[in-house]
């Protein structure tokens, strides 16, 4: 489908300087057994952030096609090759999963980036009481509707509902993964009585629906608390979608017209997404930021840095005053502080918001520690320019033989003060909603524990009694199913890397 040109050592010496590539010679005696392996290796060699620190991505180690193919042929499965090429720093310390991942079907991936997936329409956590084999689940939130009716909403499931079994079988450490992996099941419900979870006779049957789209704006409302107008926004994914951008801007327009003077931004379930969308939200919040005020800065591997510098590409993203590619003005707030609600699901672009706003506003974080992912990725396809769209009429489209792609880490992000968040953000007020199972208030309710803490600071009036740790450990969070979107998705055009011939000729 495509010809990649591998350079011998003599060409490597010239590569760093400028634009010469060596033509693939005819002396190949080792046949390649899997074309996807070749795509994976070259894409990682071009783009991967830690390429210079991974020995098996070294051209010095594999200076000829015969040497490279001999190595690649030791892998029968391209995903095994991909994960073996990852750097130790490419790891989510909280989940133990890599931040980069191999993609089996890029069409499903693209849908997930737009908030579309197979879904029951609710998110949950699984808890294990200390010293037992038992597992209990609780519903974090239910999506009312998307592009279709949410199965969970239709079945009457609500936030705070407890479930103790699936299809009549009690959940345990040993069986919860298999029981919850189905596309159709019945949740056997329970209740918290005197601090203990007990089963009830109630149950809810659910069937997952295909292509369910969840609007990232789950809740947006203006609260009037003791005469203070507080804007509350629960935002659950940074989707680069023009319709969602317009809706987000309209919500901030409502905040302005309602006289909002304080803002609570709820990112506790937000795994990340688009840099552009984070830039829009950050600009809506920090109205004083100008188009020359730095929101975030990105760094790449040496070859990409050189290619971008050669065309004068700016590593910074700035605050903006219009929705990108439109003439629509942003409804920007004028607040001096923001209360941000966080959890172990808060990652990537959500953390980018915290990092980007921190130099300019007084931020108070409430909840639990965030993931700690200051890294960005791109989707790379098996095509000459690693994109789905040809750069010109002479370039072929994506390889029709498969739908594999890769989503490697290619960039590191910092704020204007060159501060990153690789260890995550520790909240100023630690509150874990799992400790409130007996009365887990609805999201957006003034008595909901995390929001209540923010309102207590705003008004100076105590609003809730802090609950002690209930002794249950979280063993699974359904937001892990969204982990493949918990990334900062780069919107910057990096095609110059391929046009420069720094690493290949075609």
For residue 506, pLDDT over 80 is answered with no
pLDDT of residue 12: 30
pLDDT in tens, 421-439: 889 999 999 999 999 998 8
- Residue 234, phi-psi category: left (phi > 0), alpha (psi -120 to 50), beta (remainder): beta
pLDDT of amino acid 392: 63
Provide mean pLDDT across the span 30-53: 95
Residue 346: which pLDDT band, with cuts at 50, 70 and 90?
very high
Given pLDDT bands bounded at 50, 70 and 90, which one contains residue 20? very low
Task: Tell me the average pLDDT across 66-84.
Answer: 97
Per 3-state DSSP, what percentage of the chain is helix, strand, and coil (rounded to 5)? 25, 25, 45
Helix residue ranges per DSSP H, 48-131 = 65-72, 78-84, 106-113
Work out the number of other CB atoms within 10 angstroms of the CB of residue 455. 24
Answer whether 299's CB lies under 8 Å from 490's CB: no
Which pLDDT does position 389 carry in this prediction?
74
Question: For position 8, what pLDDT does the model report?
Answer: 28
At 245, is the pLDDT very low, low, confident or very high (cuts 50, 70, 90)?
A: very high
Per-residue burial over 114-143, b if 16 or more Cβ lie within 10 Å, else e, is ebbbebbbbbbbbbbeeeeeebbbbbbbbb
Rounded to an integer, the average pLDDT of 374-399 is 81
Please provide the DSSP assignment of 304-347 as one string: HHHHHHHTT---EEE--SB-TTS-PBP---B-SEEEEEE-TT--
User: Would the pLDDT of 147 be above 50?
Assistant: yes
362-367 and 429-430 strand pairing: parallel
State the pLDDT at residue 491.
65
pLDDT at 4 over 70: no
CB 408 within 8 A of CB 401: no
What per-residue confidence (pLDDT) applies to 498? Answer: 52
CB neighbours of 476 closer than 8 A, spacing ≥ 6? Answer: 125, 126, 176, 177
CA pair distance 360, 332, nearest whole angstrom: 15
Would you state the pLDDT for residue 17?
29
Ordered alpha helix ranges (H), 286-435: 302-310, 349-357
pLDDT of residue 381: 93
Can you give the pLDDT at residue 495? Answer: 62
Mean pLDDT, rounded, of the chain: 88
């Amino acid at each position: 489908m495509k010809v990649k040109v591998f350079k011998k050592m003599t060409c490597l010496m010239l590569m760093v300087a400028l634009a010469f590539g060596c033509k693939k010679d005819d002396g190949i005696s080792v046949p390649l057994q899997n074309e996807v392996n070749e795509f994976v290796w070259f894409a990682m060699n071009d783009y991967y952030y830690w390429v210079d620190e991974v020995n098996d991505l070294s051209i010095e180690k594999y200076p000829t096609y015969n040497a490279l193919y001999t190595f690649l042929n030791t892998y029968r499965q391209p995903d095994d090759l991909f994960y073996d090429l990852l750097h130790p720093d490419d790891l989510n310390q909280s989940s133990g999963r890599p931040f980069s991942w191999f993609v089996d079907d890029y069409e499903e991936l693209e849908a997930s980036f737009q908030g579309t997936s197979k879904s029951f329409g609710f998110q949950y956590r699984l808890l294990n009481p200390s010293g037992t084999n038992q597992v209990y689940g609780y519903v974090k939130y239910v999506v009312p509707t998307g592009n279709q009716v949410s199965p969970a909403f239709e079945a009457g499931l609500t936030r705070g509902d407890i479930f103790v079994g699936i299809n009549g079988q009690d959940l345990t450490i040993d069986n919860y993964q298999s029981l919850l992996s189905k596309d159709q099941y019945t949740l056997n419900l329970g209740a918290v009585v005197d601090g203990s979870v007990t089963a009830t006779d109630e149950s809810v049957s659910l069937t997952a629906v295909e292509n369910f789209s969840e609007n990232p704006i789950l809740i947006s409302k203006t609260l009037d608390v003791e005469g203070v107008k507080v804007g509350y926004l629960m935002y659950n994914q940074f989707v680069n979608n023009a319709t969602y951008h317009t809706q987000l801007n309209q919500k901030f327009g409502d905040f302005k017209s309602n006289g909002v003077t304080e803002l609570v931004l709820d990112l506790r379930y937000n795994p990340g997404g688009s840099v552009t969308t984070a830039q829009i939200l950050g600009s809506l919040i920090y109205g004083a930021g100008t188009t020359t005020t730095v929101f975030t800065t990105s760094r790449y591997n040496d070859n990409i840095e050189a290619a971008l510098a050669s065309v004068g590409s700016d590593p910074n993203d700035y605050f903006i005053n219009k929705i990108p590619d439109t003439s629509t003005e942003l409804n920007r707030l004028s607040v001096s502080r923001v209360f941000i609600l966080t959890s172990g699901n808060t990652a990537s672009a959500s953390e980018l918001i915290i990092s980007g706003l921190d130099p300019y506003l007084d931020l108070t974080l409430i909840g639990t520690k965030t993931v700690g992912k200051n890294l960005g990725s791109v989707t790379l396809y098996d095509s000459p320019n690693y994109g789905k769209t040809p750069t010109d009429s002479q370039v072929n489209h994506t390889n029709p033989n498969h739908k594999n792609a890769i989503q490697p880490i290619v960039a590191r992000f910092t704020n204007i003060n060159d501060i990153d968040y690789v260890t995550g953000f520790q909240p100023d007020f630690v509150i874990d909603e799992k400790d409130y199972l007996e009365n887990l208030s609805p999201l957006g309710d003034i008595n909901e524990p995390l929001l209540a803490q923010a309102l207590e600071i705003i008004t100076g009036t105590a609003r809730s009694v802090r609950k002690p740790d209930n002794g249950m450990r979280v063993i699974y969070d359904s937001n892990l199913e969204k982990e493949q979107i918990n990334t900062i998705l780069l919107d910057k055009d990096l095609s110059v890397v391929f046009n420069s011939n720094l690493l290949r000729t075609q």
